[in-house]
Amino acid sequence: MPSSANFSKIYKFYDLINTVLTLGFDKSWRGIAINRLSGTSVLDLGSGTGAAFEQLIDYETTAIDPDKKMLELNSFENKVIGTAENLPFGENSFDNVLCSFVWRNVSDTGKALSEIYRVLKPGGKLVLLDMTRPKNLFLRTIHKVGTFKVLHLIGLVTFNLKEYRFLYRSLDFYPQPEDHLVKNNFNDLQIERMGLFDFVYLAVFTK
């Protein structure tokens, strides 16, 4: 289970860090994830500063995030402070839940999945996009060394070493998605890898 970090200290840089760690492909990979959505309504889970705003412009989107400062920079009209483990919405509220590059920071993913299932409409989708480590041991070692250097350097430069060290460790909080993610009550789960080293994954749950 992840420990906590105060993202309020680095809220202005969080999206930039995702861009750096994904080698600049975060937007395009998020676009692939959004193409898997169906219906009209979306809960942008862990919306943060609203990195997906332009890509979700055609959807009825509700943004939720536990960090108030991040939401203050978020351009979505409907914004709610809250966590994945305790979603403040009724049953069958959304056609989709989109979660991009934040799942590894969720403290209790089992409870979060139950809450997401509850608020999804029948046939609705959880589209989950995040980073992990490559499967290959050699590539995993290279990835660890590279992300260690990048995140710790940024942490030192911005005087927020603790928060960036947390982001580095978050890549190892959970096992590989193929081992960690389970269908639970969902009818279907499909997982695919993306990226040069397969360090990004896309998981689509269907209720």
Looking at residue 97, its pLDDT comes to 98
Query: Which residue in the block uniquely carries the two structure tokens 């500063």?
Result: 49
Supply the angle between the helices 137-158 and 161-170 in degrees, to the nearest 10.
Answer: 160
Looking at residue 150, its pLDDT comes to 66
d(CA 164, CA 118): 33
Distance of alpha carbon 89 from its chain centroid, rounded? 19
d(CA 29, CA 23): 11
Whether the CB-CB separation of 180 and 174 falls below 8 Å is answered with: yes
Structure tokens at 61: 């989107």
What are the structural domains of the chain?
7-206 (3.40.50.150)
Give the three-class secondary structure for 179: helix
Looking at residue 18, its pLDDT comes to 64
Apex CA 56: angle with CA 74 and CA 72, to 5°?
5
Per-residue confidence of the chain (207 residues) as pLDDT tens digits?
454 454 555 555 566 666 766 666 788 999 999 999 999 999 999 998 899 999 999 999 999 999 898 899 899 999 999 999 999 999 999 999 999 988 988 989 999 999 999 999 999 999 999 988 778 777 777 767 666 666 656 655 555 555 656 565 666 667 889 998 999 899 999 999 987 788 889 999 999
Query: In which region does residue 90 sit, left (phi positive, over 0), alpha (psi from -120 to 50) or beta (all else)?
Result: beta
